[in-house]
């Protein structure tokens, strides 16, 4: 039996060539699907909200089950259709604050909850003010995917149909997955992940 001693290095202690090897090895071993789950949850929520269907991928949206009279809505009529059917899902009551006790009343929306220790607290929301910050899942991808709808509601176009908005949503879904994949495979992201986890390497950049 023999004992072999190996000197280990932090990422910032490696040579440039060793850093490149460490990054490339990490990129080859990482699973992009681990990072796309939040996008998929937002996609599912949007698909369900608008009663859409998908083909072989999440960005393959089918609309054949939707009546043509709805798909062809445009301008003010489309604005009213979205407002009447989806407003409460697209815009949620604005959060004001919380109190460390139970509160009831009619002037605000009160949600009584318990913290991790079982103590009562109340979240307070406005009855009059609403916002569109991550309304479906609480994650930013909600807004990325729904942005075409919010843009339309802000400035309704007489030429944009409901089907056009669905196709724009389809494109936004594609962009979300593509941008996220590019980011998690970038040198910058991988470097940040390696340093945050304090991984150690051999002199040539091989993960210990």
Residues 68 and 157 in one domain: yes
- 8 Å CB contact between 183 and 189: yes
Asked if residue 4 is part of any domain, the answer here is: no
| Chain segment 31-53, per-residue pLDDT in tens | 666 668 899 999 999 999 999 99
Domain-embedded: residue 196? no
- Determine the number of helices (DSSP H) and then strands (DSSP E) in the chain: 7, 7
> How many Cα neighbours within 13 Å face the side chain of 68?
0
Task: Answer whether residue 116 is part of any domain.
Answer: yes
49 inside domain:
yes
Do residues 82 and 99 share a domain?
A: no
pLDDT digits (tens, 9 = 90+) for 97-155: 777 777 676 777 777 878 777 888 787 766 667 778 889 998 999 999 999 999 999 99
Domain of 127, in residue numbers: 92-131
Whether residue 197 is contained in a domain is answered as no
Dist. CA 52–CA 40, nearest whole Å: 15
Domain count, the chain: 2
| Whether this model's pTM surpasses 0.85 | no
């Amino acid at each position: 039996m023999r004992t072999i001693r190996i000197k280990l290095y932090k990422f910032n202690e490696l040579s440039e060539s060793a850093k490149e090897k460490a990054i490339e090895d990490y990129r080859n071993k990482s699973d992009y699907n681990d990072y796309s789950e939040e996008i998929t949850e937002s996609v599912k929520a949007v698909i369900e909200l608008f009663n859409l269907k998908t083909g072989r991928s999440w960005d393959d949206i089918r609309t054949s089950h939707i009546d043509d009279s709805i798909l062809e809505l445009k301008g003010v009529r489309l604005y009213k259709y979205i407002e009447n059917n989806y407003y409460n899902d697209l815009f949620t009551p604005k959060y004001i604050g919380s109190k460390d006790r139970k509160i009831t009343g009619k002037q605000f929306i009160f949600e009584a909850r318990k913290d991790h220790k079982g103590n009562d607290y109340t979240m307070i929301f406005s009855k009059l003010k609403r916002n569109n910050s991550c309304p479906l899942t609480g994650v930013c991808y909600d807004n990325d995917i729904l942005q075409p709808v919010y843009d339309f509601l802000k400035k309704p176009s007489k030429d944009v149909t409901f089907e056009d908005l669905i196709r724009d949503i389809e494109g936004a879904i594609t962009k979300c997955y593509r941008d996220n994949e590019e980011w998690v495979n970038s040198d910058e992201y991988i470097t940040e992940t390696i340093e945050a986890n304090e991984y150690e390497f051999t002199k040539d950049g091989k993960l210990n």
